[in-house]
């Protein structure tokens, strides 16, 4: 936990860029000042449980940390449909709206960050996220921040993330893959992310080229569905792609030789394994894997929502000798 705390504290008053959009650039100092500004407002409210949906990744991250620091319980819904919000309201879960609060866009010269933050308490805070339902009925899963940040330490090494890395996403941060890779991975490394979800290949190509022109290393967070419908080849000379949500077809993978890392995991378990070659997966650091007589996979991981062995329901061909599975 100390490593995570040290990495978070390092840039708390930094002028390095954390997030950017078409019209704005926000520094790490802007972020933390905005978090505590919003936290002070939330502490005046009597609500205890909040539903958080925010399209802009930066405003989402500000809201998420402000809610946790003000000791609110956070629920991340699978969508923002009226029926979903209404069902949560019936359980006394208040629908949070960032734009209803008075929070300045940027810090000023007189702004001062709090002298002390209880980082241990913050990292042990929990929130609820709904599963996709791919292994059964969708359900709310409780996750702790420390579980996610432990995973980012490994991912940081895997992707060689540093202050020059720039994250671009074609997936939603409301779900675990986008949430962890777009927001937490740059936050702990002094890196930056584009705050909007990219919907079109042309836009993604443009953002990659802009990042390279700015001497940044683009890291694309995407999915097999987006990659399979790309209308033009991505500029990959200085780019890395993370993909999840299904296996990338061989003809698509061949376009991204050495530039594509496929992630196998779930909302419950976090990341389990990664693949640089078609169908061959290597477990994340500290992830233990075993199979039963039916080749059903079980994992035990510091990134998971529980400390016990957990079955994903998937069938694999596991090589205990090589610590790989197919």
CATH number at residue 227: 3.40.50.12780
Cα dist from 230 to 155, 203, 276, 321, whole Å: 25, 11, 20, 38
Rounded distance, CA 51 to CA 63, Å?
A: 11
- Kindly give the interhelix angle for 2-10 and 145-159, rounded to the nearest 10 degrees: 70
pLDDT value at residue 319: 65
- Work out how many domains the chain is built from and give that number: 1
Rounded distance, CA 169 to CA 21, Å?
A: 12
**In which order are the strands placed within the sheet that holds 126-130?**
94-96, 49-52, 73-76, 126-130, 140-144
* Nearest of 200, 305, 81, 25 to residue 208 by alpha carbon: 200
Rounded distance, CA 176 to CA 130, Å?
A: 9
pLDDT value at residue 150: 96
pLDDT value at residue 184: 97
pLDDT value at residue 291: 87
Here the tokens at position 85 are 């919000």
Rounded distance, CA 204 to CA 135, Å?
A: 31
Instruction: Encode pLDDT of 50-99 as tens digits.
Output: 999 999 999 999 999 999 999 999 999 988 899 889 988 999 999 999 98
pLDDT value at residue 20: 97
For residue 315, what are the domain limits?
2-325
pLDDT value at residue 84: 87
Asked if 44 contacts 102 with a C-beta cutoff of 8 angstroms, the reply is no
Rounded distance, CA 274 to CA 225, Å?
A: 18
pLDDT value at residue 305: 94
Question: How many other CB atoms are found less than 10 A from the CB of residue 30?
Answer: 23
Cα dist from 294 to 290, 297, 300, whole Å: 11, 9, 18
Asked if 76 contacts 128 with a C-beta cutoff of 8 angstroms, the reply is yes
Low-confidence ranges of the chain (pLDDT < 70): 104-115, 132-138, 231-232, 318-326
Torsion angle defined by CA atoms of residues 109, 103, 142 and 169, in that order, rounded to the nearest 10 degrees? -80
């Amino acid at each position: 936990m100390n490593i995570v705390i040290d990495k978070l504290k390092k840039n708390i008053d930094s002028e390095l860029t954390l997030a950017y959009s078409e019209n704005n650039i926000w520094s790490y100092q802007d972020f933390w000042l905005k978090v505590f500004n919003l936290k002070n407002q939330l502490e005046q409210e009597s609500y205890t449980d909040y539903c958080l949906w925010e399209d802009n990744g930066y405003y989402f991250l500000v809201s998420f940390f402000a809610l946790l620091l003000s000791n609110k319980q956070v629920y991340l819904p699978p969508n923002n449909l009226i029926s979903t919000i209404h069902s949560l309201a019936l359980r006394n879960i208040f629908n949070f709206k960032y734009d209803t609060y008075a929070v300045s866009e940027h810090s000023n010269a007189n702004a001062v960050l709090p002298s002390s933050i209880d980082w241990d308490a913050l990292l042990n805070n929990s929130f609820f996220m709904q599963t996709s339902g791919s292994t059964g009925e969708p359900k709310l899963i409780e996750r702790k921040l420390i579980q996610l940040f432990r995973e980012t330490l490994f991912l940081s090494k895997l992707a060689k993330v540093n202050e020059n890395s720039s994250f671009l996403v074609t997936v939603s941060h409301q779900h675990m893959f986008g949430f962890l890779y777009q927001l937490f991975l740059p936050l702990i490394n002094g890196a930056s992310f584009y705050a909007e979800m990219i919907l079109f290949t042309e836009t993604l190509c443009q953002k990659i080229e802009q990042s390279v022109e700015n001497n940044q290393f683009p890291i694309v967070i995407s999915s097999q569905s987006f990659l399979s419908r790309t209308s033009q080849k991505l500029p990959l000379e200085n780019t890395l792609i993370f993909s999840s949500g299904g296996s990338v077809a061989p003809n698509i993978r061949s376009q991204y030789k050495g530039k594509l890392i496929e992630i196998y995991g779930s909302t419950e378990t976090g990341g389990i394994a990664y693949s640089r070659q078609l169908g061959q997966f290597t477990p994340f650091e500290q992830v233990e894997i075993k199979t039963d007589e039916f080749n059903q996979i079980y994992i035990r991981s510091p990134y998971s929502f529980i400390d016990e062995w957990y079955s994903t329901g998937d069938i694999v061909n596991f090589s205990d000798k090589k610590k790989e599975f197919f």
